[in-house]
Amino acid sequence: MHIIDSHFHWRPRSLLEWACKSKGYPRAERDGKGGYVWMIREGYSVKIRPDHPAWAPLEAQLADMDALGHEIDVVCTIGPLSVYFSELAPEAGRDAAMLWNEEMAAAQKRFPGRFWGTAAIPLKDTKIAIEVLEHAIEKLGLYGGNLPGSVGIDPRIDHERLWPFYKRAEELGVPLFLHPTDAVFADILEGYNDTLHFSLGRVIEVSVGATRLILSGLMEHCPNLKIMLSHTGGALPYQSGRMDKNTKAAKLPRPASEYIKRMYTDTVSPHMAGIKFAIEYYGIDNVMYGSDYPCWEPAEALRLIEQIDLSEEDKQKLFVGNVRRIFGLPHMNGSAHMRELKSVGSAAAE
C-alpha cells in the first residue's frame, strides 16, 4: 500500500552544531559524550541524546519506514523544536531557519518524491517571517511551514502584527503545521517525570493556539488559510459544543466549530476511538495519516487505523489523497522509485 506520512520528524544535526556557536540563550553545548545540552533559558536545559532517532541519519529513518512492508513517503515537520527559531533575536532566527530550510530542500533532492520538507519560520519579526516563508516556498520548493504554539514564551500566535504573515501563507496556498513546543504552560505541568506534560501539556497547547487563531478573527479574515493541527486537534473536537456555547462573547460571525472544521488534522492519537472521532468530526477530506515518528510507532498507528471501518475510497484519501491535495505534493511515488533504484543496483551488482 502506498502511504504518505504527514507527521514525521527528522532533525539535521547541522542545526545543533550551528546552535553551539550561539551566545546567550537559547543555544546548544556539546556534552563531551557525543550528545548535546539544549540551553533554552537560564536554569532550564534539555539533554539531547546522540542516539535519539529524531537526529539519526535520514537514510536510517527511511529504512525504518521500509521495514513496515508498505511504500511510505514522508512529510517532514519540526515538532517542539519549531519554537527555537522564534526564541532567537530576529536576524539569528532568520539565519537558523534558513539553515533548516536548506537542509530540507537538500533532502528533497536526495530523495525525490520520498521526502517532502516544510519550513522553519521565525515569528519574532513579521517582515522576516514573510521573507523566510517566501524563500522557502518559492526558491527552495518546500511544501509548508511550521507554526509553533507560541512565539518563544509569548502565547500570542494570533497577535495582530502577525496577520500579514498569515495572509501571505494564505496567498501562497501552503499549510501551516501547528505543533506544541513546550515553551508555555510549564508552571502547571511540572513533575511526574514529565508524564503530565507529555500527556496533557501538548494537548492543551495546540488547543489554545488553534483557539486563539479562531477567537482573534484571523480565520474569518483569512478564509482560505490552511491550518493543520497536530495530534487530532488536541481537545477541540471533543469540546466543540462547549466552544460554541462559550465563545459567543468573542462576537464571531459564525460558531467556533465552523472554523475548527475548516482546519486539517492528522491521526496521531494512541486511541482508536479518538482517531475515529477525529475522522467523523473533521470529515474524511480533512484528516491525513500521521505517525509522529519517531515519537510514536508507525506500526501501532497503522494497526489502530485498520480497526476502523473505512471504505477503500476513504483509506485512499486518508493515506495519500488528502496530504497530496492539502500540501500540494506532485504525483510521485518516491518510495516505489527508490525501490526500483535499489533493484536496478542489485541486478547490476550481480
Q: What residue ranges in 149-275 does DSSP mark as E strands? A: 176-179, 227-229, 264-266
Position 338 scores a pLDDT of 59
20 part of a folded domain: no
Answer yes or no: is 247 within a domain: yes
For residue 349, what pLDDT is reported?
A: 47
- Segment 89-117 shows an average pLDDT of 97
Range 303-311 average pLDDT: 98
Average pLDDT (194-219) is 91
What is the Cα–Cα distance from 228 to 230, expressed in whole angstroms? 7
Computed on alpha carbons and rounded to an integer, the radius of gyration of the chain in Å comes to 20
Specify the number of domains making up the chain: 1
Q: What is this structure's pTM?
A: 0.93
CATH number for position 113: 3.20.20.140
Q: DSSP 3-state assignment of 235?
A: coil
Angle, CA 333 vertex, CA 330 and CA 335 arms, to 5°:
135
What pLDDT score was predicted for residue 202?
84
With a cut of 60, say whether residue 343 has pLDDT above it. Answer: no
| Domain limits for position 98 | 2-12+53-349
- High-pLDDT (> 90) share of the chain, %: 77
Residues 6+ apart with CB under 8 A from 184: 149, 150, 153, 155, 205
pLDDT of 339 reads 55
Q: Does residue 316 sit within a domain?
A: yes
pLDDT attached to residue 41 = 80
Look at residue 73 and tell me if it is in a domain. yes
Predicted pLDDT of residue 88: 93
Question: What does the block give as the cell for 258?
Answer: 465552523
In a domain, 21, yes or no: no
pLDDT mean across residues, the chain: 92
Give the lowest-confidence range in 31-35, 128-132, 323-327, 340-344: 340-344
Buried b (16+ CB within 10 A) or exposed e, 68-88: beebbbbbbbbbbbbbbbbbb
The CA-atom distances, in angstroms, between 157 and each of 25, 94, 134, 169, 263 are 21, 18, 19, 14, 16
Average pLDDT over residues 293-316: 97
Q: Is the pLDDT of residue 134 over 70?
A: yes
Quick one: average pLDDT of 159-179?
98
Residue 53 φ then ψ, to 5°: -65, -20
Instruction: Name the band, by pLDDT with cuts 50, 70 and 90, for residue 135.
Output: very high
**What does the DSSP assignment read for 182-196?**
SSSSGGGS--GGGHH
Q: Does some domain include residue 39?
A: no
> What is the arithmetic mean of pLDDT over 307-315?
98
25 vs 282 pLDDT, higher one = 282
pLDDT computed for residue 33 by the predictor: 86
The mean pLDDT of 14-40, rounded to a whole number, is 90
Least trusted range by pLDDT, from 109-118, 235-244, 328-337: 328-337
How much is the pLDDT for 277?
97
Residues 98-117, mean pLDDT to the nearest whole number: 98
* Of 7-21, 197-211, 233-247, minimum mean pLDDT range: 197-211
> What is the Cα 306 distance to its own chain's centre?
23
Residue 305 lies in a domain: yes
Q: What confidence tens digit (pLDDT) does each residue in 70-95 have?
A: 999 999 999 989 999 999 999 999 99
Q: Is the pLDDT of residue 350 over 70?
A: no
Q: Is residue 72 in a domain?
A: yes
DSSP reduced 3-state for 317: helix
Residue 150 has pLDDT above 90, yes or no: yes
